[in-house]
Every structure is written in structure tokens, then in C-alpha cells.
Structure 1
Amino acid sequence: MSSIKTVLRKKALADGTYPVCLRVTKNRKTKFFNTIFKTTENEWDFSSGCFNRKNSNYIQNNRLLLKFKDRALKIYSDLQLEKEYFDLDDFSKRFRVDNNPASGYLFPFWEEIIAEMRLAGRMGNATMYNETMKSVNHFCRFKKIRFQDITNSFLNKYEAWLRSRGGTDGGISIKQRTLRALYNKAIERDITKDINHPFKTYKISKLKGRGIKKALDMDQVSRIIQFDLIKYPHLRDARNYFVFSFYTRGMNYTDMMVLEWKDIDATTISYIRNKTKGRFVITILPPVREILNYYKENALATEYVFPILLKDGLTPAQIADRKKKTLAKYNRDLKEIAKICAINKSLSSYVARHSFANCLKQKGVATDIIGESLGHKDLMTTQVYLKELGSTVLDDAAALLL
């Protein structure tokens, strides 16, 4: 069973309008393809899949919509003739590349990738891609550019432009890596070719940050563990989150935020890390058990362990918005804790992860077990060694911190 229809997406945009898309269905699987239009519900005829008379330019807009649909029907028909079997990925490649008037242009493809990420709930990636796209767009002075315009010279000029605006190695590296990932996606989807790939000559590795990561020693961590919660009750959550993160191998804020009670059994916490999608099984140490008991006794009517997300069933966008607000407060509270504890370092949510590795070193744990990378160099390296070592070694190492 197959069908091609023009429809409104169910989720409204920020301005209250809805994207007009082509919905292609084959063998009960569906893909959506953005058109250039968006509109309100009262300007759309749902039964016929076109603009109604309330739309100010409905005749011309409907003609263009029909062209989109005709193009899709032709591609579908051609694939039927060419292949005994094809799927929606085959259709997608043909539709986006061969027949899309914007094919080969950087920013329309970029916007499409961002839309896909948001639809998949990958809000962190979507935000990074969107911020980088705005930066590159500004650098290009909002001109239309194609993928073949992204050359080694372009990348070096973009780097120089970022530096002129106060960019650091770390910040520039993030933007260039995002641009490289987008370029690779364009190659995968046959938007551009792997000929003269600019990142084969422009090396992002030269931008590795050389700044010293902030990490506490065991004495400083102990001050936070022993923090006077009776005197400073408004800082209880921040102290608990930091200690919990420290004793769970530096679990980051996002993973703590969405940690559910079903992820916890009598002796372990099992979760999938949001950033790397790797699974972690962590033995519950006494300080973690104490914190879990507190939040069990004071639990909200949600599935979550910590009172960060206040209700179940939030959309990815709502979760991302809540994270932004609560993480900012958490970091402010940590700075207040640092001041009270006479810790002369800028304390933030990620310092728990660096401190975990630093304190293991202080305890004499072998460098090959810790790596230099548990938050100190490269998160991908961290993921590799965690995967290779397994849980037992790290649980034994973590127990040394008690």
C-alpha cells in the first residue's frame, strides 16, 4: 500500500503555524518531506490537502504544491520501473537530490537536518546545529552558498572570523566539527560528493583545547559531601546532585534529570547515557543510597528520581527548555556552595566528572584504568575505555573513594 499526500504536520511552529509537508507512505512506513510552505489550520483544506480560499495567495500556492506532488509521483513511478524493490530511503535520496531545486545549497539542507533532529527528540544536537548554522550564515553575510563553496580556504577564513569575535580553540572546534558532520551527512545523502572534501586538508585536531580542566581534589570534594544542609537547606538539591554525580562516575546533568526509578534496583543503577547512547551499570555506593533514600521519601508524583522534571510526558522541546532553566540554577547554587566551602575554583555541574577522575588518580588507581580522558580530554575516548573495561573494574575503583 502506498500514498503521497500534502498534509499539515501535527506540531505547530513557534509562530502558531504548521509546516506543509509531503507525506509519502509505502508498506505502512511513512516519511515527511518539507515544502516551502507553512500555514494556519483555518487556511488549510484537510480533505483535499491544499490551501483554501482564506489563504491570501491560495491559487498560486496550490499550483506550486501540485508541482511538488507531481514531482514525488514521478519519482515514485520511475523507481517502480527501475527497481524490483525500493524503500522510502531510495525515494528520499532521489526526491531530495535530483528534483529538489534547493539541492546542493548549504542552508536549506542544514535546516532540514535540524528539523529531523527535533522530530527525533535530539534537542541538544538540534540546538548545536542551529547555533552553528546561524554563525556560518552570519559569516557568509546571509548569502546562498553551495557545498562546493566549503573549501579549505573557506574554513580558514571562518576560523579567523570566529577568532576576531573572541572565539577560543574549544568553541571554534565545536563549530567546525558540527560543519564537518553536516558535510558528511550531505555526502551520505548524495547531496554532494566526497571529491576535494575540505576537512581532509583542514585539520580540526589542531584546535584541541589546551586549557586546564577544573577538577577538585578529595579534600575539596569531602567539604561538599559534609556540607551543612541544615544551615543551608536551599542548597540541598545542588549538593545532592553534585555528590550523586561524583559517586556515579560523573553522571552528567542530562542523565540525572531523566533518570527514572525503574532504572534502579537493590544494588545498581542502569541507564543509557544520552550523549553517547552507551549503557552503564553502576553499583550503588552508600552516599548514593543515602541520596536516593532522601528523594524516595520526598518523591514527586512522577517517574523521575530527581525533582527536576515536574511531570511526566513532556515533549523533547519542553525537556530541553526545563533543562536550560534548572541547569542554570544548579550552577549558580554550586558557585554559592564553593564560596561557603572555601573552594577557590569555579564549580559547575561538569566539575563532578573531572573530579571523579582526578580523585581516582589521587587514590593511586592505574592511569590505564582511568585514562586521561574521563572528562579530561575526549568523551569518545572515555566511552571506548568504559566499554572495554566493563563495570567491575570501575565499581572497585569508585569504592576507593569511600
Structure 2
Amino acid sequence: MSSIKIVLRKKGLSDGSYPICLRITKDRKTKYFNTIFKSTEKEWDAPSGCFNKRNTNYIQNNRLLLKIKARALKIYSDLDFEKDYFNLEDFSQRFRLDNNPANDYIFPFWEEIISEMKLAGRMGNATMYMETMKSVKQFCGFKKIRFQDITNSFLNKYEAWLRSRGGTGGGISIKQRTLRALYNKAIERNIIKDINHPFKTYKISKLKGQGIKRALDFDQVTKIIDFDTSKYPQLVEARNYFVFSFYTRGMNYTDMMVLKWVDIDSKSISYIRNKTKGRFVISIVPPVREILDYYKEYSLPTEYVFPILLKDGLTPNQINNRKKKTLAKYNRDLKEIAGLCSIKKSLSSYVARHSFANCLKQKGVATDIIGESLGHKNITITQVYLKELGSNVLDEAVALLVI
């Protein structure tokens, strides 16, 4: 007896979700193959082996799952036709080869992962993987490389190469984390073995530099809130987006872009954060209500709150392209606002989130409350986050001791 099914494997992950796997059963033996997906029990339909409508991208995700299952069925059928007998190891070798014809070559596997991410609508991750792959190809002189070529020495040379081209600790860290994630995916899919894992000796944590503090204090945020756009009508959107983000616990630009009127009731905003998939329910404070009322009157006739996406029904790729174009303008406008408000710090879309945390810290709000408001899963993340915001609050606390 044999079966091929997509299942939610009851092996809990740290965030409370479960991995989605392809399960092959043959001759009373079972083997699991990891996919790129994970899910909670509430978003999963076990009988049909697919996401239900509670999953935000269930249509695209289910298409990819069906593609994976169809590939497995074809391989199983081919083996059954070619051989009098085959076992799960035969299937596993063929399945891995079908997924990645070059097998231990990095770039074909990398491209496969990017394709899966695009099909699943995960355009942000796909873009990050594409940019890092392009960088690694340039570093390697566009030569073919295998996973065994990724060593501690390779990673240190790649880091030095990035620095020689003006790379900073933060930017290099992102590329190395992406490369590490790809390496781990190759292990999960049995492309390579977890032997001499290069990232066990090469520590990405060393790349975290101090950088430029991106958070504003409350006086600086107030200048933006009070900024008179009547003299600068071209900056209305940038001012509104920044203030809205600040008062919605640092909602990022991607989430604002796809925020819909159905996500808003008379008292609160409810949305799922694109980056972490965590749900936020945020009370509407007066500055946010004022902005919502403005866009209720002046926004485009679409389902979206903000006039960023110009029509409904766009594909993930179209949304991602629109984001690139409009985010660049938003950041340029924010820098202009900073100059007009005599704010000397560099202003960008993500500064609102850092500033929200910093202002809560200034007001004496406990770290665990700040972390919960930001959606952090543990206090350690918040402590690291706040550490980067400077020591003004500590300086003020010491000043209280001066007689």
C-alpha cells in the first residue's frame, strides 16, 4: 500500500506553527520531504491537504502545494513503470534530482527557491534572495560553485569583498543570513548533509555594527506631526504615511500599502503583518482617525486605504514593482521633510517604527510592553532593539541623582 499526501507535520516550531511536508508512504514505511511552508492548525485543512481561507495567500500557496504533489506523483509513476521494485530511497534520490538537476550546484537550487517564493507571493523574500544570488555570482566571477565550496574561508573572503565595495556591517549581515538560510534549506531537502556547516564557525553576529541611530525623539516626531503641508502639497502623502505608521506601532510601508478598508472598524485596525504573519489589533487614536477620514474622502475608488496601489486585483509581482517605485519616492519626500523640519537625522520609512519604540522608552514604558506592542516574540529581541536607540533615557535617569 502506498500514498502521497501533503500534511501538517505535528512537530511544533518555535513560533507555534507546524511545518508542511510531502509525506510518502510505501511498503509500510514513511518518508517526509520539507516544503517552504509552515502553518497553524487553524489555517490548515487536513482532509484536503491544503490551506483554508484563513491563510492570507491560500490560493497561491495551494497552487504550489499542488505542483509539489503532482511532481511527486509523476516521479512515483515513472519509477513504478521503469522498475519491478523500488523503495523510498529510490524515490528520494529521484525527487531531489527532479527538484534540482544540478543537485549539489548552488545557483540552480537558489533559482528554484526563488521561483517557489514568487509563486507563493513572497515577493520581499524573493527579491532579497535574488539580490544576494547576484552578489555571490559577481564575487565568484559567475563560475559554477557547489555547496561544499561554501566554507568559513569562502564566507570571510566574501565579507571582505563586500566591504571593499562599500558594504556595511548591516548590509553584509543581510546577505550572509540569506546565504545561511539557503544552506539550511538545502540540508532540509536532503541536497547536502549537515557536515562541516560553515555557519557554525563563521558568526554573523559579529557583523552587527553600531551604525547611525535611526530613531527620532518625541520632540522631533512632533515637528513632523505639526508640519504644515499647505505650503508643500507634494509632501502631504509622506507626512501622513509617517504619522500613521508612528501611531500604529510602526506599521511598515508594505502593510500600509495593502491595508484595506475592511480591516478597519469604528474603533480599531486589524491586520496581519507581512513580515512575521502575526496579527495586530490597534486602537484608533485621534491622529490616525484624522488621516483615515482624509483618505476616506480623497482616496481612489479601490479597496485599499492609501492611494498607493492604483487598482484592485494586482498580482504579487505587480504589487512588489509598485512598492519599489512608490517607496523610493516616499523616502525622498521624507528626507525633504526632515530638512524643512530641521531634523538632521536621516529619515526613511522604517524610522517611524524605531521612533515609536524610542518614544515609549523615553516615556518610561516597560521593555516587555514595548516588545509586545512591536510584536516581538521574546524580550531579548526587544532589549537588542532598544539598545540600538541610544542612551538618552539613561543619561536623564543619572541626571536625577545630581543634587
TM-score tier after normalising by the smaller chain length: 0.7 to 0.9
- In the alignment, which residue of structure 1 is the partner of 2:45? none
Match of 2:376 among 382, 397, 401: 382
- Going from structure 1 to structure 2, the CA distance change for 1:79 and 1:321 (only over 3 Å counts) comes to farther
- In the alignment, which residue of structure 2 is the partner of 1:129? 129
Q: Structure 1 stretch 357-366 or stretch 282-291: which is displaced more?
A: 357-366
Q: Shift of residue 94 of structure 1?
A: 3.4
Provide the C-alpha distance between the structure 2 equivalents of 1:344 and 1:200, rounded to a whole number of angstroms. Answer: 40
1:49-75 residue CA offsets vs partner (Å, 9 max, x unmatched):
xxxxxxxxxxxxxxxxxxxx9977433
- Going from structure 1 to structure 2, the CA distance change for 1:273 and 1:166 (only over 3 Å counts) comes to same
1:153-202 residue CA offsets vs partner (Å, 9 max, x unmatched):
11111111111222111111111100000001001111000011111111
1:295-315 residue CA offsets vs partner (Å, 9 max, x unmatched):
111131111000000100111
The SS at the match of 1:358 is: helix
2:103–2:191 contact (8 Å) kept in structure 1: yes
1:349-392 residue CA offsets vs partner (Å, 9 max, x unmatched):
11111111111112121234325995xxxxxx83445999xxxx
Question: For residues 287-326 of structure 1, what are the structure 2 equivalents within 5 Å?
Answer: 287-326=287-326
Provide the C-alpha distance between the structure 2 equivalents of 1:372 and 1:206, rounded to a whole number of angstroms. Answer: 27
Which residue identity is paired with 2:104? G
- Going from structure 1 to structure 2, the CA distance change for 1:265 and 1:103 (only over 3 Å counts) comes to same
- In the alignment, which residue of structure 2 is the partner of 1:74? 78
Provide the C-alpha distance between the structure 2 equivalents of 1:120 and 1:81, rounded to a whole number of angstroms. Answer: 35
Q: Shift of residue 126 of structure 1?
A: 0.7
Return the index of the structure with the highest Cα Rg.
Answer: 1
The SS at the match of 1:270 is: strand
- Going from structure 1 to structure 2, the CA distance change for 1:252 and 1:153 (only over 3 Å counts) comes to same
1:75–1:95 contact (8 Å) kept in structure 2: no
Q: What TM-score do you get using the length of structure 2 for normalisation?
A: 0.72
The SS at the match of 1:31 is: helix
Provide the C-alpha distance between the structure 1 equivalents of 2:331 and 2:218, rounded to a whole number of angstroms. Answer: 20
The SS at the match of 1:277 is: coil
Which residue identity is paired with 2:68? K
Provide the C-alpha distance between the structure 1 equivalents of 2:122 and 2:179, rounded to a whole number of angstroms. Answer: 17
For the aligned residues, what is the CA RMSD? 3.1
Q: Structure 1 stretch 338-347 or stretch 116-125: which is displaced more?
A: 338-347
Question: For residues 220-231 of structure 1, what are the structure 2 equivalents within 5 Å?
Answer: 220-231=220-231
1:123–1:317 contact (8 Å) kept in structure 2: yes
- In the alignment, which residue of structure 2 is the partner of 1:116? 116
1:62-89 residue CA offsets vs partner (Å, 9 max, x unmatched):
xxxxxxx997743365899557xx9xxx
Which structure 2 residue ranges, 5 or more long, are not aligned? 5-64, 383-403
1:99-158 residue CA offsets vs partner (Å, 9 max, x unmatched):
954111111100111111111111111111011111111111111111111111111111
- In the alignment, which residue of structure 2 is the partner of 1:333? 333
1:225–1:239 contact (8 Å) kept in structure 2: yes
- In the alignment, which residue of structure 2 is the partner of 1:361? 361
- In the alignment, which residue of structure 1 is the partner of 2:282? 282
Provide the C-alpha distance between the structure 1 equivalents of 2:246 and 2:161, rounded to a whole number of angstroms. Answer: 38
The SS at the match of 1:289 is: helix
1:93–1:190 contact (8 Å) kept in structure 2: no
Provide the C-alpha distance between the structure 1 equivalents of 2:144 and 2:115, rounded to a whole number of angstroms. Answer: 19
Question: For residues 3-402 of structure 1, what are the structure 2 equivalents within 5 Å?
Answer: 29-31=66-68, 73-75=77-79, 94-97=94-97, 101-371=101-371, 382-384=376-378
1:305-354 residue CA offsets vs partner (Å, 9 max, x unmatched):
00000100111111111101111111111111111111122111111111
- Going from structure 1 to structure 2, the CA distance change for 1:91 and 1:221 (only over 3 Å counts) comes to farther
The SS at the match of 2:67 is: strand
Provide the C-alpha distance between the structure 1 equivalents of 2:214 and 2:222, rounded to a whole number of angstroms. Answer: 16
- Going from structure 1 to structure 2, the CA distance change for 1:80 and 1:193 (only over 3 Å counts) comes to farther
Provide the C-alpha distance between the structure 1 equivalents of 2:171 and 2:378, rounded to a whole number of angstroms. Answer: 24
Provide the C-alpha distance between the structure 2 equivalents of 1:159 and 1:308, rounded to a whole number of angstroms. Answer: 37
- In the alignment, which residue of structure 2 is the partner of 1:42? none
2:100–2:112 contact (8 Å) kept in structure 1: no
- Give the share of equivalent positions with the same residue, in percent: 76
Q: What TM-score do you get using the length of structure 1 for normalisation?
A: 0.72
Provide the C-alpha distance between the structure 2 equivalents of 1:129 and 1:286, rounded to a whole number of angstroms. Answer: 40
The SS at the match of 2:231 is: coil
Which residue identity is paired with 1:382? H
Provide the C-alpha distance between the structure 1 equivalents of 2:92 and 2:246, rounded to a whole number of angstroms. Answer: 45
Provide the C-alpha distance between the structure 2 equivalents of 1:204 and 1:191, rounded to a whole number of angstroms. Answer: 23
Which residue identity is paired with 2:265? D
Q: Shift of residue 92 of structure 1?
A: 7.5
